[in-house]
Chain A
């Protein structure tokens, strides 16, 4: 309103000015009445499925009693958080989340960058296309399907152990071995997602000005030199941005993957916050108040990480996560 009031030539009094501004807004709203109508379904969806659950977080400060619902359940202050503070399994799941996410950032994240650079070096266009089709396909499968195939391949009586045994080693059940399970998560994540992640880097490489390579060829640069001094510097920004965003999503260590692959034998190394919430809520019935509090805790850590990541990305001149 303030800026409106200071428009030159405006002689009306305050009240009139405000009502005039309101009228203008009302006119514009009316002008866009059909457009607002279009927004209605999306907004209803957002309110029901996104914002009501956010309101539901008040359950973190209550003891849930099914017959009273979220609204009627009694308040318990910070009791749920106090319970978690001394709950060892909760902290175990928290640290597992960080460890698994960190392992994935370290080993899964760089893989598609190398892959993209190598793919770009292939000159046989046809073969390149075939490879890319193969690499990107697993992305579209559910973890249910992928875990099923991996179970068969990696179980004690599966193909991998058959090869392993024929080389004279003892059989390992990768799926129930605490020492190998996290690596199994890293490996299957690469298997499923690496190919798909290359697309973004390949798009960045495709945007590099070809004359740079031509000039380097004239100067007698070899392929490795071209990769190090042209390809890499040109895609570095994209890689760094993706890395920052990946760190922002650190609290998501891969629920769908772990939920479908883990089992009792590896809970100690594989139980992450999300799987902990699920099991405590539906298998051990710890009480929805407590598990909501876990979710709230995760959400808080998550938003701090994401906002930090976004700020860093923006400082670097990117548009941020959105």
Chain B
């Protein structure tokens, strides 16, 4: 059937549909393209022609500025640190909780109830803010790691995946005298690698995009994550442009604020941009598994 369809002629309807979808694609891409262009052209070109189809003149000054700026590089280090330890922490909590809840435990209903309730109700911003101070995480990198433990939805999807694994493997391991931890780490997890990869990726992206906890709790400049530094640059470039290097640069009219903002944005999303096309199927998988489940 599919073959017959593909042999059919390219009709007017196809053209209209193709046109709209392509247009939407262009609308998605243009802001990225615009950001790249603005980051590449010198100020006088941008001021004259804000709408560009191609760069008429290219300069890498903005990128030199971004990479020469200690704050962004330091922010990158902080973010990588948060990402590594954060994702390990996320996955450990998610997997342990998910696996434990596949068992017919006494009191399981209560525990599930406690978990589900957090989806419906929370304490809100201020009690959360005060808590971080009370447990001594204020101005600590830990304040950007520990508050995001496991995402309930991810945990439930992984749980239902575990439940679908064949029971026999576990039972035979039990007979061999393996305890539950050995079973989980030696048998269950190796069988679940693709789904674990998917949810690790979700957690990675969330960690990469961290700025909110940083903004609430981090006071020292040296502990700010990348996205938070980006935010101060984007919202108003004052922080960065008042630095001495920037003053010199702007005196020479080599660097301009819009260009620096866009260059910082490009640098910040560069890793996600490069990896996404290759990892897309893993990203999409998580949602489809979730969808099929519900």
* Chain A contact residues, CB within 8 Å of chain B: 25, 28-29, 32, 34-36, 38-39, 41-43, 45-46, 48-57, 59, 69-70, 115, 118-119, 121-123, 127, 131-138, 140-142, 144-145, 147-153, 157-163, 166, 191, 195-196, 199-200, 203-204, 210, 213-214, 223, 238, 241, 256, 260, 274, 277-278, 281, 288, 291-292, 294-296, 298-299, 302-303, 306-307, 318-319, 321-322
Are the CB atoms of B280 and A118 closer together than 8 Å?
Answer: no
Residues of A within 8 A of B172 (CB): none
**0/1 string, B128-147, CB within 8 A of A gives 1:** 11110011000000000011
Residues of A within 8 A of B116 (CB): 322
Residues of A within 8 A of B203 (CB): none
Residues A54 and B35 in contact in the complex (CB < 8 Å), given A123-B5, A133-B277: no
Complex Cα spacing A56 to B110, Å? 22
Interface residue? B166 (CB, 8 A): no
**0/1 string, B25-36, CB within 8 A of A gives 1:** 101111110110
Complex Cα spacing A162 to B48, Å? 10
Interface residue? B193 (CB, 8 A): no
Sample (15) of A-B pairs whose CB atoms are under 8 Å apart: A32-B180, A36-B105, A46-B114, A46-B149, A53-B123, A115-B24, A122-B18, A136-B280, A141-B269, A145-B230, A148-B230, A148-B264, A152-B258, A159-B52, A203-B287
**0/1 string, B12-26, CB within 8 A of A gives 1:** 011001101110110
A-B CB contacts (within 8 Å), total count: 261
Residues of B within 8 A of A32 (CB): 103, 105-106, 180
**Contact among A34, A121, A138, A144 with B28 in the assembled complex (CB-CB below 8 Å):** A138
Size category of the B interface is 35 or more
**Contact among A35, A213, A241, A303 with B120 in the assembled complex (CB-CB below 8 Å):** A303
Q: Name the segment of B54-62, B63-71, B92-100, B239-247 touching the other chain.
A: B92-100
Are the CB atoms of A159 and B280 closer together than 8 Å?
Answer: no
**Contact among A41, A119, A213 with B21 in the assembled complex (CB-CB below 8 Å):** A119
Residues of B within 8 A of A39 (CB): 96-97, 100-101, 111
Residues A70 and B234 in contact in the complex (CB < 8 Å), given A149-B32, A152-B258, A159-B50: no
Residues of A within 8 A of B50 (CB): 157-159, 161-162
Shortest distance between the CB of B262 and any CB in chain A (Å): 6
Are the CB atoms of A292 and B124 closer together than 8 Å?
Answer: yes
Interface residue? B220 (CB, 8 A): no
Residues of B within 8 A of A195 (CB): 28
Are the CB atoms of B97 and A148 closer together than 8 Å?
Answer: no
Complex Cα spacing A109 to B171, Å? 47
Are the CB atoms of A277 and B124 closer together than 8 Å?
Answer: yes
Instruction: Closest A residue to B284 by CB, please name it.
Output: A199
In chain B, positions 240-294 with a C-beta closer than 8 Å to chain A are 258, 261-262, 264-265, 268-269, 272-273, 276-277, 280, 283-284, 287-288, 291-292, 294
Are the CB atoms of A200 and B287 closer together than 8 Å?
Answer: yes
Most chain A beta-carbon contacts within 10 A, residue among B18, B127, B180, B230: B127
Are the CB atoms of A53 and B128 closer together than 8 Å?
Answer: yes
Residues of A within 8 A of B77 (CB): none
Are the CB atoms of B93 and A42 closer together than 8 Å?
Answer: yes
Residues of A within 8 A of B103 (CB): 32, 35
Instruction: Closest B residue to A297 by CB, please name it.
Output: B124
Residues of B within 8 A of A158 (CB): 50
Are the CB atoms of B6 and A123 closer together than 8 Å?
Answer: yes
**Contact among A50, A136, A152 with B262 in the assembled complex (CB-CB below 8 Å):** A152
Residues of A within 8 A of B167 (CB): none
Residues of A within 8 A of B149 (CB): 42, 45-46, 49
Complex Cα spacing A81 to B15, Å? 58
**Main SS class of interface, B:** helix
**Contact among A54, A118, A119, A136 with B121 in the assembled complex (CB-CB below 8 Å):** A54
Are the CB atoms of A299 and B24 closer together than 8 Å?
Answer: no
Are the CB atoms of A199 and B291 closer together than 8 Å?
Answer: yes
Are the CB atoms of A303 and B121 closer together than 8 Å?
Answer: yes
Most chain B beta-carbon contacts within 10 A, residue among A149, A162, A278: A149
**Contact among A38, A123, A132, A148 with B261 in the assembled complex (CB-CB below 8 Å):** A148
Are the CB atoms of A54 and B123 closer together than 8 Å?
Answer: yes
Complex Cα spacing A39 to B99, Å? 9
Residues of B within 8 A of A321 (CB): 119
Complex Cα spacing A292 to B6, Å? 60
Are the CB atoms of A291 and B288 closer together than 8 Å?
Answer: no
Residues of A within 8 A of B24 (CB): 115, 135
Shortest distance between the CB of B34 and any CB in chain A (Å): 6
**Contact among A34, A35, A48, A140 with B131 in the assembled complex (CB-CB below 8 Å):** A48
Interface residue? B85 (CB, 8 A): no
Complex Cα spacing A135 to B205, Å? 17
Shortest distance between the CB of A273 and any CB in chain B (Å): 10
Complex Cα spacing A161 to B49, Å? 11
Complex Cα spacing A152 to B32, Å? 11
Residues of B within 8 A of A140 (CB): 205, 209, 272, 276, 283
Residues A42 and B131 in contact in the complex (CB < 8 Å), given A119-B21, A148-B230, A163-B51: no
Complex Cα spacing A206 to B22, Å? 22
